């Protein structure tokens, strides 16, 4: 006779076995990756059976019909090909980019030459990786990453990647790039850091120490090349430069706004270098620069800080911006190049730059300059690279309020219009009176 306890024990085992059989016949939603695992088994749906090949696990996950998530734990993962995400899948590290590295295997002595990621489906998300040693040999570029519209890349670091015959040494995107670092990448014939298609958004990112060249024709946008309608918001863009051997001409050491409709706001653009527009260039398009601080950039020829090349019947706008201590080869550190072809309107308003007397006074139609100052912006610590304004700065409470500022924040996370005056400051930082307390995001 079987005891009640033995019967219940047998019943529980049957329930567990049945559950396993049911799970095995249903699409799993979550998959796992670790560097080594002797028990790895497709479809990698537990840590016990986690896969070690990132591509294999992503491909397995993309057979699901429901929510698709792949978790990747600490380690370095060397690729034999690019990881293609062709479904609305989230690929996420467990402990962040500092300890989760995806290596495209392009280092000396390794035979593989491929980019690391291709996000090819709206809804795809890449979160929390260091992406390195990737290379793109042809269009569309993006040595570390290519991502289409509707995708999100966040909390990643892209470094040491190359685009050899196209643009975007680090990233080529039409999607959203947020809270990322794009550092030390190379674009041989185009942007070293990020190249965007239409409608991309780059927000809260650091784009630094990327370079372009050598190449035999003109190149635009060392740090970022912006496609039509791209927005660059609250970014730190520093130390991007053209290679000394590249002598064919370059535009926009930090940013080149190369297609109409681009906007850069609340961003710090500093210590970049190009032949024209050491900081920012509007190259053959109309675009908008608002509440940026453009400092200590250098140009071989014109526009140490900002350079314009505006087509006929178009308008370039610079508003609430500080462009100072930049070094041009000639003229003002804000410079609009005007001829019979590039004869669009150039509007610089409520901004701080010097010398104001060196800006072009002709145009077809005439350029507009209003409420500008060439007075020293009185930064908190020029020698310490502290570009925040002090109480005596001519940029405090001197900007023009706009509707986009509602709910917006400066580069320190402070409300874009302070509670005391209700008037926006020039530049990417709001002045905070000594002893005041602010509530961030």
Tokens 């990233």, residue located:
171
Residues comprising the chain, all counted:
441
Three-class SS state of 400: coil
* C-beta of residue 425 within 8 angstroms of C-beta of residue 398: yes
User: In the prediction, which pLDDT does 248 show?
Assistant: 64
Residue ranges in 102-178 assigned as alpha helix (H): none
* C-beta of residue 275 within 8 angstroms of C-beta of residue 250: yes
| Pairwise CA distance, residues 51 & 312, whole Å | 57
The order of strands in the sheet holding 322-324 is 75-78, 100-103, 130-132, 157-159, 181-183, 206-208, 236-238, 268-270, 293-295, 322-324, 352-353
- Which neighbouring-strand residues pair with 186? 162, 211
Three-class SS state of 6: helix
Structure tokens given for 54: 């990132």
Q: Taking the domains of the chain in order of start, what are their residue ranges?
A: 74-380
User: In the prediction, which pLDDT does 311 show?
Assistant: 77
- Which neighbouring-strand residues pair with 196? 173
Instruction: For the beta carbon of residue 149, count every other beta carbon within 10 angstroms.
Output: 13
pLDDT tens digits in sequence order for the chain, 441 residues long? 444 344 334 433 433 333 333 334 444 479 999 999 999 999 999 999 999 999 999 999 999 888 899 999 999 999 999 999 999 999 999 999 999 999 999 877 666 778 999 999 999 999 999 999 999 988 889 999 999 999 999 999 999 999 987 889 999 999 999 999 999 999 987 899 999 999 999 999 999 999 987 765 666 788 999 988 999 999 999 999 987 766 667 888 999 988 888 999 999 999 999 988 999 998 878 899 999 999 999 999 888 999 888 877 788 899 999 999 999 877 778 877 766 566 677 889 999 998 887 776 655 556 788 999 999 999 999 889 999 999 999 999 999 999 999 999 999 999 998 777 889 999 999 998 865 555 555
CATH class of 74-380: mainly beta
User: In the prediction, which pLDDT does 12 show?
Assistant: 36
User: In the prediction, which pLDDT does 360 show?
Assistant: 64
**Omega prior to 184 cis, within 30 of 0:** no
* C-beta of residue 319 within 8 angstroms of C-beta of residue 350: yes
Tally of CA atoms within 13 A in the half-sphere of 193 that contains its CB: 35
| Pairwise CA distance, residues 195 & 187, whole Å | 10
Three-class SS state of 23: helix
The separation between CA 293 and the C-alpha centre of its own chain, rounded to angstroms, equals: 17
Q: Per residue in 151-172, is it b (16+ CB within 10 Å) or e — as a string?
A: bbbbbbbbbbbbbbebbbbbbb
């Amino acid at each position: 006779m079987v005891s009640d306890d033995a019967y219940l024990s047998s019943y529980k085992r049957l329930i567990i076995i049945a559950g396993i059989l049911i799970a095995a016949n249903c699409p799993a939603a979550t998959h796992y990756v670790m560097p080594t695992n002797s028990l790895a088994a497709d479809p990698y749906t537990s840590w016990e059976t986690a896969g070690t090949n990132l591509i294999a696990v992503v491909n397995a996950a993309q057979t699901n019909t429901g929510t698709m998530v792949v978790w990747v734990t600490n380690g370095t993962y060397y690729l034999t090909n690019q990881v293609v995400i062709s479904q609305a899948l989230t690929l996420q590290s467990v402990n962040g980019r500092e300890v989760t590295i995806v290596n495209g295997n392009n280092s000396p002595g390794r035979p593989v030459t491929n980019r690391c990621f291709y996000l090819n489906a709206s809804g795809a998300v890449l979160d929390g990786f260091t992406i390195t040693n990737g290379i793109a040999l042809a269009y569309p570029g993006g040595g570390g990453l290519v991502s289409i519209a509707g995708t999100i890349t966040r909390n990643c670091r892209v470094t040491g990647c190359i685009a050899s015959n196209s643009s975007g040494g680090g990233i080529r995107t039409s999607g959203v790039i947020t809270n990322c670092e794009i550092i030390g990448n190379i674009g041989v014939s185009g942007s070293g850091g990020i190249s965007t298609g239409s409608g991309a958004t780059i927000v809260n990112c650091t784009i630094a120490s990327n370079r372009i060249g050598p190449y035999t024709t003109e190149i635009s946008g060392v740090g970022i090349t912006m496609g039509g309608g791209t927005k660059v918001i609250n970014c730190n863009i520093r130390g991007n430069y053209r290679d000394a051997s590249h002598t064919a001409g370059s535009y926009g050491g930090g940013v080149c706004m190369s297609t109409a409709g681009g906007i850069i706001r609340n961003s710090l653009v500093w210590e970049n270098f190009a032949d024209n527009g050491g900081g920012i260039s509007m190259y053959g398009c109309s675009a908008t620069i608002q509440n940026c601080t453009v400092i200590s950039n250098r140009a071989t020829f014109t526009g140490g800080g900002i350079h314009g090349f505006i087509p006929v019947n178009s308008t370039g706008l610079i508003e609430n911006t500080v462009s100072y201590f930049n070094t041009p080869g000639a003229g003002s550190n804000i410079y609009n190049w005007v001829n019979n072809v590039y004869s669009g309107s150039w509007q610089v308003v409520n901004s701080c730059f010097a010398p104001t007397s060196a800006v072009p006074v002709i145009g077809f139609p005439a350029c507009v300059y209003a409420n500008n100052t060439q007075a020293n912006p009185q930064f908190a610590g020029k020698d310490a690279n502290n570009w925040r304004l002090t109480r005596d700065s001519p940029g405090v409470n001197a900007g023009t309020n706009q509707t986009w500022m509602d709910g917006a924040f400066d580069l320190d996370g402070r409300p874009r219009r302070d509670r005391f005056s209700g008037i926006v400051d020039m530049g990417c930082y709001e002045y905070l009176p000594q002893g005041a307390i602010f509530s961030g995001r």
